[in-house]
């Protein structure tokens, strides 16, 4: 199935192909490869809900032609002194 991915905040759209049994983490891995955004800096949202990495496209009701949103969440991997 083809999924349209809208990456925020710049609203860049890419279309990728997945199986309905693929996980949200597999989408994040594809985005990391294509866009260079770390997995921990991605938040996947569909139908107003943040999706869990271990869930599948099918379990979230994502179908061919669905649009999912990827929010960029800045990583806070630094030390405060």
Query: Domain 2-72, what architecture?
Result: Roll (3.10)
Distance of CA 78 to CAs 6, 43, 74, 81, Å?
28, 20, 11, 10
Give mean pLDDT, residues 2-18.
96
12 vs 80, residue with greater confidence? 12
The C-alpha torsion from 42 through 44 and 50 to 55, rounded to 10°, is -110
Tokens for 77?
A: 């991997």
**pLDDT computed for residue 81 by the predictor:** 46
**pLDDT computed for residue 74 by the predictor:** 81
Domains of the chain by residue range = 2-72
Pick from 53, 10, 20, 15: nearest CA to 34: 15
Report whether pLDDT(78) > 90.
no
Between CA 44 and CA 48, with CA 47 as vertex, the angle to 5 degrees is: 75
Report the b/e string of 1-17 with b at 16+ CB within 10 A: eebebebeeeeeeeebe
pLDDT digits (tens, 9 = 90+) for 11-56: 999 999 999 999 999 999 999 999 999 999 999 999 999 999 999 9
**pLDDT computed for residue 76 by the predictor:** 64
């Amino acid at each position: 199935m083809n999924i349209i991915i809208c990456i925020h905040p710049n609203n860049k759209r890419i279309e990728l192909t997945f199986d309905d049994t693929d996980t949200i983490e597999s989408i994040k891995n594809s985005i990391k490869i294509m866009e260079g955004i770390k997995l921990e800096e991605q938040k996947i949202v569909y139908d107003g809900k943040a999706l869990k990495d271990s869930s599948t496209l099918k379990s979230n009701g994502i179908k061919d032609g669905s649009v999912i949103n990827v929010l960029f969440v800045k990583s806070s991997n630094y030390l405060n002194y």
